[in-house]
Amino acid sequence: METILIIDDDPAFLEKAKTLLHRGGYDDVQTETDPGQALMRVDRGAPYGVVLIDLDMQGLDGLGLMGAVHESDPDTECVVLSALNEARVAVDCIKKGACDYLTKPVRDDRLLASVKHAASRLRSSRAVFSPQPGHPDASAGANAFESIITRSDRMRRIIQEARLHAGSDVTILITGESGTGKELLAQAIHRVSGRAGAPFTSINMASLAGSLFDAEFFGHTRGAFTGAERDRVGYLEHSNGGTVFLDEVADLPFDFQGKLLRVLEQGEFIRLGASAAQKADVRFISATNADLERQLARRSFRQDLYYRLKGVQLHLPPLRERREDIPLLVDHFLSEFGRSRAVHRIDGEAMRAIAGYDYPGNVRELRAVIQSAVNLVEGGCLTLSSLPAYLRKQHRKRSAGTFIPPGRIAPLEEIERQHLIRAYEESGLNKIRAARILGIGVNTLRRKLSLYGIR
């Protein structure tokens, strides 16, 4: 049964609502009159399934509190309560993520029905992530997507879509910059699919140049060409019943694209040197960091192959567009590389330097940064001095802020922007904590970060 939190500065309403929900079968109902204390509960990661929030409390904007709840756990369902019986306010709340909007005084049956609806939505959402017993994902692959470390709403939506497509054989094209985790996502899809017990074969298409494509991809018979002293099983035959991951598919030479298309269209292939076709029972997942549509315009990639590969497209954002994941990834890589050298923590200045960099190499580059930095640590704590020179140099420039010549009064915008950056980095890119440091609402912080282009 879901844990329910009711946040309202009216103790009488809280007692009445709690009693009503207990009668309705909800045993774990918690209440809070202080919105600041409620924010602290949420920030600590308390597992609330449904949260009822009064819109009109003193000291904190109800919508800002709802934003904080969703930032802590996007799956939590929120019901907004207000004395304002205005359609415009209700629509605005629903647009910003509320499950329902109730006007006070609210009837008992209406309140109970709203909570039941919210709980039902929550269970439906969790069903997407929680496989049933007997499903392939319920055993070895149950934690497949947990290898993708993220708190980003955007990434969570991608993972949710990937999980939904995993149960079919639809072809998937994964796009994104180098180092964003395209193969990691492909492996997770395979592990939760019905093909999880068969091989996952990763093939770098750029490496299959010249005559290697036919011999490696399709296999060959003895005597098929000079030096073919025995039969060889190709990638397709080896992967029978499983998944073939076509990495850097945009680099496949044009001459070989038609051969791959035949496999996709007819589900069969012919070994080099053989005459009889064999069935190809495989699922294809492709990946590229190139702009395939530009290659279509240049006629360097076949349009028919493109649409065969792109049954579903999943685009992974670069790390600079999901900075909230950087502290999580740093902790993970410290755990991975720091254990042997007893390095278990990172100081605030080093974290600010790491969080402020754009990472053109994405997660792969961040991993390399932490791996190399751990080797230079003395004393168990990773500090700024352990980081690569280019990170330290950028951090010094950012820390210096905007230079203001003597005698000039700095514009308020310059000072506010630098103050926002400092608070945001001090909080580890956590908007709830940054808003608390600055003494403003979460929604206000979001607007200001957007205004100043701080991501």
Peptide bond before residue 405 is cis, with ω within 30 degrees of 0: no
* Angle formed by the axes of helices 62-72 and 87-95, nearest 10°: 20
Q: Are 7 and 60 in contact (CB under 8 A)?
A: no
pLDDT tens per residue across all 455 residues of the chain: 678 999 988 899 999 999 999 888 888 899 988 887 887 777 666 678 899 999 877 766 788 888 888 777 777 888 999 888 777 787 778 777 788 888 888 889 889 888 888 887 776 555 444 444 444 444 445 568 888 888 888 899 999 999 999 989 999 999 999 999 999 999 999 999 999 999 999 988 877 766 667 888 888 888 887 777 788 888 898 899 999 999 999 998 888 899 999 999 999 998 888 888 889 899 999 999 999 999 999 999 999 999 999 999 999 999 998 888 888 899 889 888 888 788 888 888 888 889 888 899 999 999 999 999 999 988 888 999 999 999 988 888 776 654 444 555 556 776 777 778 777 776 767 777 788 778 888 778 888 887 776 76
What tokens were used for 448? 């200001």
* Polymer length in residues for the chain: 455
CATH code assigned to 4-129 = 3.40.50.2300
Two domains, one topology: 4-129 and 149-317: yes
Q: What is the pLDDT of residue 161?
A: 92
Q: What is the pLDDT of residue 176?
A: 95
| DSSP label at residue 272 | B
Which CATH number is 401-455's, of 3.90.1150.10, 1.10.10.410, 1.10.10.60, 2.60.40.10?
1.10.10.60
Q: What is the pLDDT of residue 136?
A: 44
Long-range pairs of 389-397 with CB within 8 A, sequence gap ≥ 24: 391/353, 391/354, 391/357, 392/353, 394/353, 394/356, 394/357, 395/349, 395/352, 395/353, 395/356
CATH code assigned to 324-398 = 1.10.8.60
Compute how many other C-beta atoms are within 10 angstroms of the C-beta atom of residue 258. Answer: 11
Nearest Cα to Cα of residue 366 among 341, 340, 387: 387
The pTM of this model reads: 0.61
| Integer Cα distance of 432 and 424 in angstroms | 10
**Complete DSSP assignment for 309-331:** H-SEEEEPPPGGG-GGGHHHHHH
What tokens were used for 158? 């991608």
Q: What is the pLDDT of residue 105?
A: 87
Mapped onto helix, strand or coil, the DSSP state of residue 200 is strand
Nearest Cα to Cα of residue 317 among 148, 201, 129: 148
Fold exhibited by the domain 149-317: Rossmann fold (3.40.50)
| DSSP label at residue 252 | S
| Integer Cα distance of 202 and 195 in angstroms | 15
Q: How is the chain split into domains, by residue range? A: 4-129, 149-317, 324-398, 401-455
